[in-house]
Chain A
């Protein structure tokens, strides 16, 4: 497949820079002045013995009407302009824009990796457009294991509260762990770092992703599939709550993409058994202040509403045993609402299989998963409502193990879908 061609402006900017050691890429439009201030403080403020001595390029989507910024003038006592930090605006490639602001489309990643390859960087960091990574102690800890060649992909370990990142904790992370055997806590993190040696593999993976019509790129999955070293780094980065995106859209994009990857990589994950812990770097950050137990009634009601109205859809995807358990769960009594891990795991795997078999329209399938997910959230919230962050993390670890233990169920349904055809 043909590699991405960068725009003329981007190429001109890269020619002026020629070479760099590090590339820090922002994958969505940002305010240039804000980026300049944050990047200057974060990068030039680093110790010269570590990353501060390396030639760093910050790439960001160029905004029309602004002058391309190629140099940063330090506003310290020195008047001299440092060449250690350069800014490179790039043209965002035309393509299907992502529906989720913090999750860039695969074509944007393709442009970033092409720039990294052209400049011959040793390491590249992709950061979210809210620039939280530059406002926190992120770059140094994340880049260090990659530059020291302890791993080729560094994924962040955010310190989240027990009610944060629930979609990731309930579906994405444990499914990736079970399928590919790597215990990546945040497989779809908006910030990550990778070695320059991984760029050719990443570009091939991206071309395949785009050719399949998918827009979400999974760096951890691609690294696991290619048996590259992955490590996790404790960071104190905190991203602001996402606004303007509804749950169904996010589920459709992320879980749909997970199922698509599952279909594509079927010959690979079927051979994987169990999972391995990853090298973890850094000291765990304290999680945010504990929040009180939340009202789960609306979510339970949505689950019950879903059960009453979506039975005909769920019956096309889920076997009768699962439907019977859901019927028991949907009884109107929210105090003892509890969705067992095994049930939830079977539901996710059955939906993954239905995605592959196109039992119903994929958009309908992912929409029908939302009430079930809210049911899980309600059950989880009732369980850990009065527990601390450590207990909540143990609870999620138990769920992840349930995913691994349920993998034989997925394998048998995947290989013989007709045998258990509901």
Chain B
């Protein structure tokens, strides 16, 4: 019996080693593809950076409204463009490497996983964009609400931020095809619930409270109203 067990183990090990040996060329091809494309990405990024500096794109876009700088003030437009070019080429290399890896693999599971990876990449991009938009909008609402002397400015800002983030999360999950119907339903219920609650609060339940709050806000002489009476800023 021990001989049979040993023989089975040897056969299993041999199959595993054989499988690894089958995959090794694919892994090697993947690594080589990624490294090769990373080198191309680096060279292309250098070229793009030189070109953008040559045409002084940062100075040109700095004139007037620069949407890129407004949404991402930390990085200059040339830096952002260079990085986008670099990572796009690296991503292409990654996909080419996966293709090479997949060709050497006849495993159905591997093929499906490889086909799923672009969805993951798209979801990551969505997540990043959603975060940037949420941060920008929440700060805009915060500053605007403070200047309008609204005491619930921070609450408004958080609300806007979380609304955008929830929307982003729903889009990401939808893109990843995770729990499609459930996510759609949950999102619809959540947003619909918020809107319905607000409608009920304004229309029925908190009618008096909202009415008094609105009257208080309308009647309150804000700092600018006082300025109109006594102070003339301009």
A residues apposed to B, CB below 8 Å: 160-161, 163-168, 211-214, 241-242, 245-248, 250, 254, 291, 294-295, 298-299, 301-302, 305-306, 308-310, 313, 358-364, 367-368, 370-371, 374, 377, 381
Q: B234: shortest Cβ distance to chain A, in Å?
A: 5
Q: A299-B226, A309-B157 are in contact. List 14 more A-B contacts (CB 8 A).
A: A164-B232, A166-B231, A166-B232, A166-B234, A213-B64, A242-B234, A294-B229, A305-B146, A309-B154, A361-B139, A362-B69, A367-B140, A367-B144, A367-B147
Q: Does B11 sit within 8 A of A, measured CB to CB?
A: no
Known: A167-B233, A361-B73, A367-B147. A214 touches B64 (CB 8 A): yes
- Residues of B within 8 Å of A246, CB to CB, are 224
Contact status A359-B233, CB under 8 Å? no
Please measure, in the bound complex, the distance between the C-alpha atom of A362 and the C-alpha atom of B222, giving whole angstroms: 25
Contact status A364-B143, CB under 8 Å? yes
As a 0/1 sequence over residues 127 to 158 of chain B, the CB contacts with chain A under 8 angstroms (1 = contact) are 00000000010011011111101010110010
Determine the main DSSP class of B at the interface with A. helix
- Residues of B within 8 Å of A161, CB to CB, are 232
Contact status A211-B231, CB under 8 Å? no
- Residues of A within 8 Å of B223, CB to CB, are 298-299, 301-302, 374
Identify 15 residue pairs between A and B in the complex whose beta-carbon atoms are under 8 Å apart, listed by A's number.
A163-B232, A167-B233, A167-B234, A213-B64, A247-B227, A294-B230, A298-B220, A298-B225, A299-B223, A302-B146, A302-B149, A313-B142, A358-B69, A362-B70, A377-B233
Determine the main DSSP class of A at the interface with B. helix
Please measure, in the bound complex, the distance between the C-alpha atom of A77 and the C-alpha atom of B226, giving whole angstroms: 50
* Total A-B pairs, Cβ < 8 A: 114
- Residues of B within 8 Å of A211, CB to CB, are 63
Q: A262: shortest Cβ distance to chain B, in Å?
A: 14
- Residues of B within 8 Å of A242, CB to CB, are 232, 234
Q: Does B107 sit within 8 A of A, measured CB to CB?
A: no
Q: Does B217 sit within 8 A of A, measured CB to CB?
A: no
Chain B interface size, as a band, is: 35 or more
- Residues of B within 8 Å of A362, CB to CB, are 69-70, 73
B231 touches which of A163, A313, A358 (Cβ 8 Å): A163
A305 touches which of B69, B136, B149 (Cβ 8 Å): B149
Please measure, in the bound complex, the distance between the C-alpha atom of A103 and the C-alpha atom of B157, giving whole angstroms: 32
Contact status A377-B153, CB under 8 Å? no
Contact status B70-A166, CB under 8 Å? no
Q: Does B4 sit within 8 A of A, measured CB to CB?
A: no
Query: Which residue in chain B gives the minimum CB-CB distance to A294?
Result: B230
Q: B205: shortest Cβ distance to chain A, in Å?
A: 28
Q: Does B3 sit within 8 A of A, measured CB to CB?
A: no
Please measure, in the bound complex, the distance between the C-alpha atom of A248 and the C-alpha atom of B222, giving whole angstroms: 13
Q: Does B221 sit within 8 A of A, measured CB to CB?
A: yes
Please measure, in the bound complex, the distance between the C-alpha atom of A241 and the C-alpha atom of B221, giving whole angstroms: 18
Contact status A360-B234, CB under 8 Å? no
- Residues of B within 8 Å of A302, CB to CB, are 146-147, 149, 222-223
Contact status B231-A377, CB under 8 Å? yes
Please measure, in the bound complex, the distance between the C-alpha atom of A374 and the C-alpha atom of B147, giving whole angstroms: 10
Q: Does B71 sit within 8 A of A, measured CB to CB?
A: yes
Please measure, in the bound complex, the distance between the C-alpha atom of A214 and the C-alpha atom of B224, giving whole angstroms: 26
- Residues of B within 8 Å of A361, CB to CB, are 69-71, 73, 136, 139
Contact status A368-B63, CB under 8 Å? no
- Residues of B within 8 Å of A294, CB to CB, are 226, 229-231
Known: A212-B64, A298-B221. A309 touches B146 (CB 8 A): yes
Contact status B143-A310, CB under 8 Å? yes
Query: Which residue in chain B gives the minimum CB-CB distance to A301?
Result: B149
- Residues of A within 8 Å of B229, CB to CB, are 294
Within B205-222, which residues are at the interface with A (CB < 8 Å)? 220-222
Contact status A212-B63, CB under 8 Å? yes
Greatest chain A CB density within 10 A among B69, B140, B142, B154 is at B142
Contact status A163-B230, CB under 8 Å? yes
A250 touches which of B64, B74, B226, B233 (Cβ 8 Å): B233
- Residues of B within 8 Å of A308, CB to CB, are 154
Known: A298-B223, A305-B149, A364-B143. A247 touches B71 (CB 8 A): no
- Residues of B within 8 Å of A358, CB to CB, are 69, 73-74
Please measure, in the bound complex, the distance between the C-alpha atom of A308 and the C-alpha atom of B153, giving whole angstroms: 10
Please measure, in the bound complex, the distance between the C-alpha atom of A242 and the C-alpha atom of B231, giving whole angstroms: 12
Q: B144: shortest Cβ distance to chain A, in Å?
A: 7
- Residues of B within 8 Å of A309, CB to CB, are 142, 145-146, 153-154, 157
Please measure, in the bound complex, the distance between the C-alpha atom of A379 and the C-alpha atom of B234, giving whole angstroms: 18
A310 touches which of B64, B136, B146, B149 (Cβ 8 Å): B146
Contact status B146-A306, CB under 8 Å? yes
Q: Does B6 sit within 8 A of A, measured CB to CB?
A: no
